[in-house]
Amino acid sequence: MKKVISILPLLLLLAFASCKKDTSITDEKESRQIAVLDSIDLDHAKSIRTAGDLITKAYIQDSMLYLNANMRKDHRIFGYAQPDTLSERLFLLSVFTNDIEKNPFKLPLGAYYELDSYHPIRIKYHAHDEDFIEATATDSLGKKVTLYFERKWVQLEDEFYTDEDILQEYGLIENIEDEAYPFYNVTVNFIGSRAKINLGLNIEEIPLDVEALNKLQGKYATIYYTSELQNNLQDLQMNDVSVFGEYAPDYSSDWDQITGTLKGAGSVTAGDLPSYISIAGNDGKNLDFEVFIDDEMVKANGKTVTVFYTIDVTNTITDIVPSEE
């Protein structure tokens, strides 16, 4: 009996040491896994930043959120528990395999390459502000979860067009005018319709660089483009005073106008691409505008303003395919 008692502490010590070793191994594995996930996060975030506008965005159609994956373009869109990118991540749409396989980030709603009408999770759009989209995700069992997506990665219903909306014509590129980068104005004399029209182009949204684009002047090409009506802001006034100051345009009786609350102008536009603002009209009508926001417009955000605008046809190039002749 004395021998058994004397051995018992040794056995307990060995068991404790073994348990401590197992715990240490587990902690080490978890640390390595966290390091791997952090590395994936950083690498893919860098890829998205480097891609600029050459990314695939999700879009709203019939109040539902969709994303069609394009393996030639990057996308990485998280759904958050709150309108805050530091809040819990619930859902992910990504083009990167190591984001998706086995759901490495253990997201409650999963990680997927794309989101179509056959997907087990249905995401319905509710509202948006200048930074986030609010939506509800419903799984195959009917469970609903509210989540938020960054506004910059989602095209709203009135911003999205399908292949059916894209026009295609063949013609001579007569002139290419450099506007503020990355925008260009391209004049094309179309053969079939016998019409000469001006089209807007964002060089970062087509697979051509500036040098290749300039070489197309005087050449024939197939032009893919959209043609749609767009609200163009001419003046924005608060208390009957233009926010454009000395640069305010002369009034024209041809302009339409709307009075209401200015939304989406919370910060100055950063970079070369315009921002979106909206006017929540006092008559219940809402209008969106694409503008470059300055300090004076920021001061008017959230306040009652009167916007003067025109409705114009805007032709926008989505692709250019040079003729082989």
Domain ranges of the chain: 58-159, 168-227+316-322, 230-311
Q: How large is the average pLDDT for residues 65-94?
A: 92
The verdict on whether omega for the bond into residue 182 sits within 30 degrees of 0, i.e. cis, is yes
Q: What share of the chain is helix, strand, coil (3-state, %, to 5)?
A: 25, 40, 35
Q: Which of 38-47, 166-175, 291-300 comes out lowest in average pLDDT?
A: 38-47
Closest listed residue to residue 261, CA positions, set 241, 243, 236: 236
Q: 36-40, 60-64, 282-286, 297-301: which has the minimum mean pLDDT?
A: 36-40
Q: Which residues pair with 205 in a beta bridge?
A: none
Taking a C-beta distance cutoff of 8 angstroms, is the pair 300, 239 a contact? no
Structure tokens that stand for 151 in this block: 């506004």
Q: What global pTM score does this model have?
A: 0.47
Check: CB of residue 261 under 8 Å from CB of residue 302. yes
Task: Work out the pLDDT band at 38, boundaries 50, 70, 90.
Answer: confident
Q: Average pLDDT over the chain, rounded to whole? A: 86
Domains 168-227+316-322 and 230-311 in one fold: yes
pLDDT at 4 over 50: no
User: 168-227+316-322: which CATH number, 1.10.10, 2.60.40, 2.40.50, 1.10.3470?
Assistant: 2.40.50
Which pair of structure tokens corresponds to residue 172? Answer: 């001579």
DSSP state of 165: G
Average pLDDT, integer, range 203-227: 91
Local confidence band at 1 (pLDDT 50, 70, 90 cut-offs): very low
Say yes or no to pLDDT of 306 above 70: yes
CATH of domain 230-311: 2.40.50
Q: How many CA atoms lie within 13 A of 84 on its CB side?
A: 5
pLDDT at 122 over 50: yes
The answer to whether the CB of 80 falls within 8 A of the CB of 62 is no
Lowest mean pLDDT across 1-5, 85-89, 138-142, 192-196: 1-5
